[in-house]
Chains A and B, each alone.
Chain A
Amino acid sequence: MSKFLTASIGRKFIMSVSGLFLMVFIAVHLGINLLLIFDDSGDLFNQGAHFMATNPLIKVMEPVLGLGFIVHILWSFMLEYQNWKARPVKYAKKNMSGASTWASRNMLVLGGLVLVFLIIHILDFFVKMKFTGHHLLEEVVVKGVHMENAYALVSTAFIQSTALGIFYIIGGILLGVHLSHGFWSSFQTLGLNNKYWLKRWQVIGQIYAVVVALGFAIIPLYFMFGLNN
């Protein structure tokens, strides 16, 4: 097994499986977040956030998700280091734009920028909701259930700061570009691809990437333009 984890295809397998797992998480996360703009009272989003914070299955998955992120990030660096070592003398002139997409050549850069976004994003909301608390989070009652007012925290953040909103829009777009290569690439790495499926995976991947980028970008825009009133 250790041989598998250090072999090039084994490493790619780890990247692919962890990546697919994170893509499922992103879909769930986006689904819950979109409740922010579908109910201006905030009840729906608060219920969603409450469900995610209390559901036993989600609670079990939370550390697994953390692990998924760590593995995906660590392995990407290992892989890139191995790949970087494979060409000790670099070319003086490269003309790669016709042969491959920009996103495919810059997955580490894109992933690194998404990581920066992720850290700030976690400090912004997750840490406050989970550990430190915040005055905006004071309890609300929705349908007889007591819960944190996560809606107030998120919506206020975007209403108060345009810079934060722009930062989140950029984060969403970067993630979308990362996924535009990552989605089909993970199926290719697992060997689940052939001449018929290549186009299908790529089309599904592009749609998914656009939905993720637009979906995450539309939420701060909604509040920045005051569409919640």
Chain B
Amino acid sequence: MADKILKQLKIKVWRQKNAKSKGRFETYTIENISTGSSFLEMMDILNNDLIEKGIDPIAFDHDCREGICGTCSLYINGRPHGPDTEVTTCQLHMRKFKDGETIIIEPWRARAFPVIKDLVVDRSAFEKILQAGGFVSVNTGGVPDANAIPVSREDAEESMDAAACIGCGACVAACKNSSAMLFVSAKVSHLAKLPQGKVEADTRAMSMVAKMDELGFGGCTNTRACEAECPKSISIMNIARLNREYLKARLSR
């Protein structure tokens, strides 16, 4: 069955020359988009049009286009990664939009994620948080026996669920406070649930939260918007665990 064609769409998009310049919205018209194409393919077609017209193409982040790398972003019609749930923007399809619709595209908005150009933001703040404590200090060496360290199935599952975080930043974009708590809690949890991560449990939670605050992210007010908009459905139960780990570490010294 052939995909339907959206005859005309209006794309209202944030244009910003560089980090220092003041941005503004521009509206472009695009025609004959197949509902089977992905949102980023629509952006590619639009950029082609723009290049042909001699207009600077719209800069946006993308890489794997398989929904696993966390590079694509975009705040589409008021929601991170657009109107679908549990998908990244590259996995969002144009069938989620109506013919004649105006689609508003904005970059992630957060003090800690400054705009570099158009829709591209600098998400290196996440790397800085990871560098502050999102690791285990163990000597590498030969591969240990699979069952040498006992881990219960439930712990392994919860750890893996937290490790599904791709660091895209949708949680920050969705949060009314631009809080990075879901990201930080996922990165703390996937280590805290395993024996290998227990050694540095105290310092990890404290240094990652300190870095998160320092970088200018907001605080969590438990609205749960992050969880709802997360393409990997990371649970806010990780935030409860981070709170627990942090308070335990703080109050014990």
Contact = CB atoms under 8 A, between A and B. Distances in A.
B177 A92 contact: no
12 contacts: A7-B209, A8-B212, A79-B219, A79-B221, A83-B177, A84-B218, A89-B109, A188-B239, A190-B244, A192-B244, A193-B237, A195-B237
A112 B153 CA distance: 46
Given A86-B112, A91-B78, A93-B106, A191 B221 contact: no
A83 B178 contact: yes
A162 interface: no
Q: Which 10 A-B pairs have the closest CB atoms?
A: A191-B244, A95-B78, A86-B218, A83-B177, A99-B228, A8-B219, A83-B218, A191-B243, A86-B178, A100-B223
B104 A92 contact: yes
A96 B78 contact: yes
Interface of A: 3-4, 7-13, 79, 82-96, 98-101, 104-105, 107, 181, 184-185, 188-195, 198
A99 B106 contact: no
Contact of B241 (A82, A94, A191): A191
Interface residues of B, number: 48
B209 A8 contact: yes
Contacts of A93: 77-78, 104, 106
Given A85-B218, A91-B106, 10 more contacts: A7-B250, A9-B209, A9-B246, A83-B221, A87-B218, A88-B111, A99-B225, A185-B221, A190-B247, A194-B240
A104 B222 contact: yes
A193 B221 CA distance: 15
Most chain A CB neighbours (cut-off 10 Å) among B174, B216, B222 = B222
Interface string B225-253: 10011000001110111111111101000
Given A85-B111, A93-B78, A98-B228, A8 B220 contact: yes
Contacts of B25: 92
